[in-house]
Every structure is written in C-alpha cells, then in structure tokens.
Amino acid sequence: MIEKSEKGWIQVVPIDQGTAEFDAEFWASRSPEERLSAVWEMVVLAHELKGGTEDELRLDRSHFDIQPIWNY
C-alpha cells in the first residue's frame, strides 16, 4: 500500500513484494523542477562518494570559445 504522510511518501512491503508502481506514482507527482533537483542531488552525492567536490562539477568555461555559425 502506498500512502502519503506529512513527511513524504511511504510504501511498507516485504522486499520481494515491492513494485515499480510506488516509484512511478512518486515521480509522477513531482514537478519538473523537483525532479531535476533530485537528479542533481544524486549526481553530487555520487561524485562526493568518489572523493570529489560539488565545485568540480561546474562547467569550466575557459575551455570553450563561442563563435557564430554564420558569417555576415
């Protein structure tokens, strides 16, 4: 059974009886901004578990040169 509490979503089942329904219902209830925030949080956590820092994930603009693709 899937329930929504004041602290979030809850599904209590034996591990061999879990379904993807909970995940699908949970993520479908989130806005695109909340989904993107959660994804970024997971990226940062995974990088930190490998010994990195969040600052290392920033785009290094010194390696890019922006030029128009057409000439006037």
Query: How many structural domains is the chain composed of?
Result: 1
Tell the burial category of 47 from Cβ atoms under 10 Å away from its Cβ (0-12, 13-18, 19+). middle
Instruction: Confirm whether 42 is domain-assigned.
Output: yes
Assign 2 a pLDDT band (cuts: 50, 70, 90): low
For residue 20, what is the DSSP state? T
Instruction: Confirm whether 44 is domain-assigned.
Output: yes
Instruction: Confirm whether 72 is domain-assigned.
Output: no
3-52 tens-digit pLDDT: 777 777 777 778 787 777 778 888 898 999 999 999 999 999 999 999 99
Assign 67 a pLDDT band (cuts: 50, 70, 90): confident
Reading the block at residue 46, the tokens are 């995974």
Using CA atoms, how far apart are residues 38 and 45, in angstroms rounded to an integer? 11
Using CA atoms, how far apart are residues 49 and 51, in angstroms rounded to an integer? 5
Please tell me which residue, 51 or 69, carries the higher pLDDT value: 51
Domain that holds residue 53: 32-57
**pLDDT given at position 34:** 92
